[in-house]
Structure 1
Amino acid sequence: MKSLLDGITPEHINTTPFPHVFISNAMDAATAQALGDGFPTFAQIAWSGGSRPPGNRRYQLSAWPIINHDELSATWKEFVDLHSSPAFFEQVVALFQEYWPDALKAALDGSLLGHSMGLLMRDRFENCRILQDARVEINTPIAEADGPSSSRGPHLDMPNRLFSCLYYLREEDDDAVGGDLELFRWTNGPTANIDKYALPADSVEVVATIPYRANQMVIFPQGINAVHGVSVRQPTPHTRRYVFISAEIADDWLKSPVTLS
């Protein structure tokens, strides 16, 4: 199996509004189809209750449980194993070699490479400097009574994260409106408290929108300007499906420029 970054070079990087790569048809058609057809069920991911889950709520299943899941396909196990491996991490580091923040490099003794690696949920930071994950995530259907909503407005990811990669596996019959990835820029510089779950609406503005579409991938390094969010999604019976790939360290290397009460 090829990785999402095979054949991707720094020439693919778009720097507006922050460094990122967006690729359509990221995996070969057969693999993308197999991943879509074998996407974990809601019960396999999270929900065993009899009542309807909350609308537009995120649930996840990490790589380590997927690899050890008796009911999931060999394709899924190979995919998450590859994309949570040190080899994939090395591809990410090489791709964005000119864009890693100085504060992140300083937190890793000057280099992102050469550290002990592990998997979230299997390993601990006491034994591994960097923990990776390639997890299935979903946003649940939205009932008409719930009305339109965004699963996550403009925000920065966790301050100990190194990069974020989203690989979409939208169902063929999913006709939902919204749920696209929005890329923002600060309106007056990074003056909001980045530790907040959602940034104030007037502190950022949308610059680019990446459609929620099957077999599409977007990846970007963490940084003070990497503000992103999900557009408002209209009521729908469909589940929003994707893989989230990331790596983290123990310490919060990304610091807020201001602390708000």
Structure 2
Amino acid sequence: MPHAQQATVTVESLLAKATRADIRRDPFPHIVLHNPLSPDLYEALATTMPTAEYIGTRIGKPITSNERYNYMSQHILADGEMAPVWKDFVTRNASPEFYREFLDLFRDDLIAALPDTEVKCGPLGSLRVGRRNHDTFATHDILMDCTAVINSAVSGRPSSYRGPHVDKPYKLFGGLFYMKHPDDDATGGHLELYKYREGAHRFTTSASEYGDNRFDIDPRYVEEVGTIAYDRNVLVMYPINPLALHGVSVRSVTPHERRFVALVGDLQHPLFDLAL
């Protein structure tokens, strides 16, 4: 349950410690950083992170098994009960400075995967950076967000929140900052990385929470090639392209919530097409 934060801690960027040497390129470019935040900042955020019930009550979404509950920066900044450290954190990690840090890391990989990126959206170094649900594409080129996310407790039977998929093609990047609760003894809930199997593959389109398209692929068409463990104070970040296939492993029945922060950068138009 969020509450007023008394102690003052220095708010850091999640990418402050990242270097190009951290980039892994198998099966697609990404970084995995352990302890990107100082212990003091991490604990200040972890002890005041909203629960699924808190978020669900405020956004009007009932609690069901292993569902996703998003508390976006617009909600956090407008919520008088959220700790100030969260307000400072989402502001810093959805800012023009954060975008420049991402670009310093991944620009070459992004262009290599999608050579006509700057034809479609303009020079990456000149994009006007705004915040999602605060600014619009009338005055900005990319809209960032830093969202507190809960996957609710798993009841009934083990399940995966989402299997193999590619993030929406109008997103420039995706990021996941894991904040596993110290009492969470559930198995699973890890990030799985995939590559396409040889031969045909097929994506499905279904309505998401916000009415956009989502691109899921039948597991028969992909091969798992790596796993990044769901843990405390761990950042995964990557530029989005058609090869950036990932999903969440099956999580055991558990009363514990799966906690993380989602980082996104939305563009007005898609950067690539997927054969559906």
Please give the TM-score of this superposition, normalised by the length of structure 2.
Answer: 0.87
Shift of 1:68: 2.2
Deviations 1:176-214 (A, max 9, x none): 111000011111278433756420111111111001101
**CA distance 1:191–1:103, shift in 2 (3 Å):** farther
Secondary structure (helix, strand or coil) at the match of 1:106 reads helix
Aligned to 1:166: 176
1:233 maps to a residue whose letter is: R
1:106 matched to 2:119: yes
Please give the TM-score of this superposition, normalised by the length of structure 1.
Answer: 0.92
Q: Which moved more, 1:242-251 or 1:99-108?
A: 99-108
- Is this contact kept in 1: 2:168–2:215, CA < 8 A? no
Aligned to 2:237: 219
Shift of 1:151: 0.2
Aligned to 1:182: 192
Note the 1:96-135 alignment, pairs <5 A. Answer: 96-100=106-110, 101-109=114-122, 111-135=123-147
Shift of 1:127: 2.4
1:222 maps to a residue whose letter is: I
Secondary structure (helix, strand or coil) at the match of 1:97 reads helix
CA–CA separation in structure 2 for the residues paired with 1:113 and 1:194: 34
CA–CA separation in structure 2 for the residues paired with 1:49 and 1:127: 27
1:198 maps to a residue whose letter is: D
**CA distance 1:213–1:219, shift in 2 (3 Å):** same
- Is this contact kept in 2: 1:57–1:140, CA < 8 A? yes
CA–CA separation in structure 1 for the residues paired with 2:26 and 2:268: 29
Aligned to 1:65: 75
1:66 maps to a residue whose letter is: I
Q: Which moved more, 1:75-84 or 1:51-60?
A: 51-60
Aligned to 1:93: 103
CA–CA separation in structure 1 for the residues paired with 2:43 and 2:251: 24
- Is this contact kept in 2: 1:190–1:225, CA < 8 A? no
Shift of 1:34: 0.7
Aligned-residue sequence identity (percent) comes to 33
Aligned to 1:230: 248
CA–CA separation in structure 2 for the residues paired with 1:21 and 1:74: 28
- Is this contact kept in 2: 1:4–1:27, CA < 8 A? yes
**CA distance 1:97–1:48, shift in 2 (3 Å):** closer
Q: Which moved more, 1:76-85 or 1:42-51?
A: 42-51
Secondary structure (helix, strand or coil) at the match of 1:98 reads helix
Shift of 1:254: 1.8
The match for 1:241 among 252, 256, 259 is 259
**CA distance 1:237–1:19, shift in 2 (3 Å):** same
1:155 matched to 2:165: yes
Could you tell me which runs of 5 or more consecutive residues in structure 1 were left unpaired when the two chains were aligned.
none
Could you tell me which runs of 5 or more consecutive residues in structure 2 were left unpaired when the two chains were aligned.
1-10, 206-213
CA–CA separation in structure 2 for the residues paired with 1:235 and 1:126: 45
CA–CA separation in structure 2 for the residues paired with 1:238 and 1:152: 18
> Which structure is higher in strand share?
2
Secondary structure (helix, strand or coil) at the match of 1:133 reads strand
- Is this contact kept in 2: 1:119–1:131, CA < 8 A? yes
Aligned to 2:219: 201
User: How many positions carry a matched residue from both structures?
Assistant: 255
